[in-house]
Amino acid sequence: MAISRRMLLAAGAAAGLMPRTGLAATTVLRGEPVMAEILPELLTPMLGFNGTTPGPEIRVRQGEALDVRFENRTGEPSAIHWHGIRLENAMDGVPGLTQDAVAHGDSFEYSFVAPDAGTFWYHSHHRSWEQVAKGLYGPLIVEETNPPIVDHDITVMIDDWRVEQDGSLAGGFGNMHDFAHAGRLGNQGEALASRSEVRLGDRVRLRMINAATARTFPMEIAGIEGRIVALDGMPLRDPEEIADIVLASAQRVDVIADVTGDVMFNFPTADGPLELSRIKAVVENAFPLGGEIGPLPPPVLARPSDVSDRELSLRMQGGAMGGRHAGEDIWSFNGVSGMQQEPWATFRSGETVRIALVNETAFAHNIHLHGHHFYEISADGSLGALRDTTLINAGESRAIVCVFDNPGNWLLHCHTLGHQASGMKTWVEVKPPPV
Ligand code: C2O
Ligand code: CU
């Protein structure tokens, strides 16, 4: 992967900076073709929102309603999914499950309350392996009612593009060879920060979002000292040392830290670290905030019962070099490929369910559940981090525990979007609470 620092062509946008909106309860997102610069001085036709990719950063305060009018001018059907938000099912943006795809020229009103503060993102959920790979996504930040005090709150969108030498995006979005392997990996890595300069001694919050359709990014951050405070938008009970940051596609990591030098986002490779982005440290902050970096306010989620009401297992099967596999498509869950008429499982509201995610394939999968967060179960059996997307490496397994308390039909799929497109997806039904 070569370095790329992309310039957005929005009027006035500085090199490598993302467009931002203020706190806004009402927003229009116009999906449309845009031009961006991935390779220096070459224009790349892409898809974006309101003239840019990533689309504008949407910020809303926890507990406040967000109203977004999605105007589809992309030239093809589309829909927007609000990744990680525990919202009302009808607003989840999944064509075929929660709504019809929005035709070109039409629009759709999304309206929901974000119950959790944290770092989320929005993206197309129609032919996502192609539309997301073309740039149809953006950051969605839900602010705490009492946010931790920092000098700068910085969003960093991470991606890798597959570009040709002339700057155009490589075609073959539905390439079956990619789908059967690790998905559409790019050849241009990128970490696009919403700010290009900070001061030495500044306290910063870094919200990293991996928007790639396939690539898992290990990320080494130089020039800061601090803590990891949240994963997938959900606060950690005990903030962790900044080490071994890994973002599978769709995952987020929040860091709060003090600046000790240029802040560099490095992707480790066999030939040494590759700098994906750098936020320059200029001058010195004469009045550093300092002080301990404590946990963010805890999320308000239903506690799982000590003994699970149900135990299920979800076996990932198929793919290149895969073992036994009965599904009709490249990938399957428990031998069943793609969406079926019936849900994989039906839960009564509030059920605590333990699911063993068993990866029987030769590739990693990052499994995403819509409308809920779940606990990763640690090796010692305790409740680990709350996530909405969990990475399970080839041949490994991980148990998760989820309280299914959000009624509706929810997708459960691999967020390596080519895997999802070729069979690795299903859905669950959560019954409404009894009246
Ligand atoms: Cu990020 Cu089913 O989506
Ligand atoms: Cu997968």
pLDDT in tens, 140-189: 999 999 999 999 999 999 999 999 999 999 999 999 999 999 999 999 99
What is the mean predicted confidence (pLDDT) over 256-270? 96
Q: How far is CA 264 from the centre of its chain?
A: 21
Task: Confirm or reject CATH 3.10.560.10 for domain 176-284, answering yes or no.
Answer: no
pLDDT for the residue numbered 19: 57
Instruction: Check: CB of residue 347 under 8 Å from CB of residue 371.
Output: no
Same fold, 176-284 and 310-430: yes
pLDDT tens for each residue of 36-67: 999 999 999 999 999 999 999 999 999 999 99
Q: Of residues 47 and 4, which shows the higher confidence score? A: 47
Structural class in CATH, domain 310-430: mainly beta
pLDDT for the residue numbered 9: 34
Report the C-alpha gap between 43 and 50 in whole angstroms.
17
Look at the domain 4-144 and name its fold: Immunoglobulin-like (2.60.40)
Q: How far is CA 194 from CA 20, 143, 152, 385, in A?
A: 8, 16, 10, 27
The protein residue whose alpha carbon is closest to atom 1 in ligand 1 is 83
pLDDT for the residue numbered 17: 53
pTM for the structure as a whole: 0.95
- The vertex-416 CA angle with 177 and 195, nearest 5°, equals 125
Beta carbon of 419 within 6 Å of any ligand 1 atom: no
What would the two tokens of residue 115 be? Answer: 């119950």
Q: Above 60 in pLDDT, residue 15?
A: no
Q: Band of the pLDDT at 22, cuts 50, 70, 90?
A: low
- Indicate the helix (H) or strand (E) that contains 18: none
The domain ranges of the chain are 4-144, 176-284, 310-430
pLDDT for the residue numbered 364: 98
Q: How far is the CA of 363 from the centre of ligand 2 (A)?
A: 7
Report the C-alpha gap between 413 and 425 in whole angstroms.
4
Count the residues in the chain.
435
Q: Above 60 in pLDDT, residue 1?
A: no
pLDDT tens for each residue of 275-322: 999 999 999 999 999 899 999 999 999 999 999 999 999 999 999 987
Q: Above 80 in pLDDT, residue 202?
A: yes
Q: Above 70 in pLDDT, residue 128?
A: yes
Q: Band of the pLDDT at 12, cuts 50, 70, 90?
A: very low
pLDDT for the residue numbered 8: 34
What is the mean predicted confidence (pLDDT) over 347-354? 97
Residues measured by CB to lie within 5 Å of ligand 2, the ion: 365, 414, 416, 419
Q: How far is the CA of 365 from the centre of ligand 2 (A)?
A: 4
Report the C-alpha gap between 227 and 310 in whole angstroms.
35
Amino acid at 50: N
Q: How far is the CA of 369 from the centre of ligand 1 (A)?
A: 8
Q: Above 70 in pLDDT, residue 28?
A: yes
> Which atom of ligand 1 lies at the shortest distance from residue 121's CA?
1
> Which atom of ligand 1 lies at the shortest distance from residue 413's CA?
2
Beta carbon of 81 within 6 Å of any ligand 1 atom: yes
Q: What is the largest CA-CA distance in the chain?
A: 64
Nearest C-alpha neighbor of 133 from the set 107, 179, 170: 170
Please list the helix, strand and coil fractions of the chain in percent, rounded to the nearest 5, in that order. 5, 50, 45
- The vertex-104 CA angle with 81 and 80, nearest 5°, equals 5
The protein residue whose alpha carbon is closest to atom 3 in ligand 1 is 83
Q: How far is the CA of 414 from the centre of ligand 1 (A)?
A: 8
Beta carbon of 387 within 6 Å of any ligand 1 atom: no
Beta carbon of 123 within 6 Å of any ligand 1 atom: yes
Q: Above 90 in pLDDT, residue 324?
A: no
Q: Above 70 in pLDDT, residue 2?
A: no
Instruction: Check: CB of residue 151 under 8 Å from CB of residue 226.
Output: no
